[in-house]
Amino acid sequence: MTIRVPVVEKIMSANDRIASQNRARLDNARIYSMNLMASPGGGKTSLIELTIKNLAELLRLAVIDGDVATSIDADRAASAGAVAVQINTGGECHLDAVMLQSALRQIELDEIDLLIVENVGNLICPASFKLGTHKNVLISSIPEGDDKPYKYPGMYRGVDALVINKIDLLPYVPFDMDYFRRGVEVLNPGLLTFPLSCSTQEGLDSWISWVLQQTQSNRII
């Protein structure tokens, strides 16, 4: 029992070391990168597709998709116009820095401006494994319920932006936006949020502008 804590710490610091190497590779290639996390069905792939479609003429995009099995999501990203790499975790419920490191080897990094990493759908451990990306983004969606910040605090604490997806379903689903936002505010004060709907595309523009602006400012620096 006493052995468990040091082992976990060792794994975490090894992961963090590789995450910093990933960041250095991305920075050297002037790639801006984000790690997109959500529960299964939250809309990660749909948001990625729309982001690609809206930015493909302005930026060179790559998507790395983490899934337990299949290449369905990477195929969708590729058809939308991005360079896409699938990572099958073979049962692992999150991506880690080593998985990203090997996926990065399969991409011509000098030909990419923006990298979106689609993490495995899961609201628990993706928050604990740094990948080395510049921004961590969480998608929450209306049908999941307004209690998610209260039930999965670790996920909300560590992110740089929050997308609230499927707002078109607000009239049909019991979801108290004030209760939800209060929960988020306690965990992550002033968190940047993007309420939107991938189906109706309401609110999508501010997300697209933010991603574009972040990527462009990264290229200037």
Q: Which residue in the set 34, 35, 44, 194 belongs to the binding site for Mg ion (CB under 5 A)?
A: 44
- In the complex with Zn ion, which residue's Cβ is closer, 29 or 125? 125
Write the binding mask 40 to 59 for Zn ion: x where contact by CB under 5 A, - elsewhere. Answer: --------------------
Tell me whether strands 32-38 and 114-118 are parallel, antiparallel or unpaired.
parallel
The Cα 130–Cα 132 span in angstroms is 6
Residues 56-95 that bind Zn ion (CB under 5 A): 93-94
Work out the burial of residue 126: count CB atoms within 10 Å of its CB; fewer than 13 is exposed, 13-18 middle, 19 or more buried. buried
As a whole number of angstroms, the distance between CA 150 and CA 45 comes to 25
Q: Angle between the 44-55 and 204-220 helix axes, to the nearest 10 degrees?
A: 60
The entry of Zn ion, Mg ion, none that residue 192 binds, CB within 5 to 8 Å by partner kind: none
Contact 44, 38 (CB under 8 A): yes
Partner in contact with 44, chosen from Mg ion, Zn ion, none, beta carbon below 5 to 8 Å by kind: Mg ion
| Residue 109 interaction partner, one of Zn ion, Mg ion, none, beta carbon < 5-8 Å per kind | none
Tell me the CA distances in angstroms from 147 to 11, 139, 181, one per residue in order.
31, 14, 10
- Binder among 22, 39, 45, 119 for Mg ion (CB under 5 A): 45
Binder among 125, 187, 191, 192 for Zn ion (CB under 5 A): 125
Instruction: Give the Å distances, CA to CA, from 12 to 7, 15, 35, 88, 159.
Output: 9, 5, 18, 21, 18
Distance in Å, CB of 143 to Zn ion, minimum = 23
Instruction: Determine the interface stretch with Mg ion among 36-44, 132-140, 142-150, 195-203 (rule: CB under 5 A).
Output: 36-44
**Among Mg ion, Zn ion, none, partner that 169 touches (CB below 5 to 8 angstroms by kind):** none
Amino acid at site 128: S
In the bound state with Zn ion, the residue whose beta carbon lies nearer, of 55 and 123, is: 123
Cα distance between residue 204 and residue 55, in whole Å = 12
Minimum Å gap between C-beta 3 and Mg ion is: 36
Partner in contact with 93, chosen from Zn ion, Mg ion, none, beta carbon below 5 to 8 Å by kind? Zn ion
Out of 39, 51, 55, 73, name the contact with Mg ion by CB under 5 A.
73
Residues lying near Zn ion in the complex (CB under 5 A) are found at 93-94, 125
The residue ranges that bind Mg ion (CB under 5 A) are: 44-45, 73
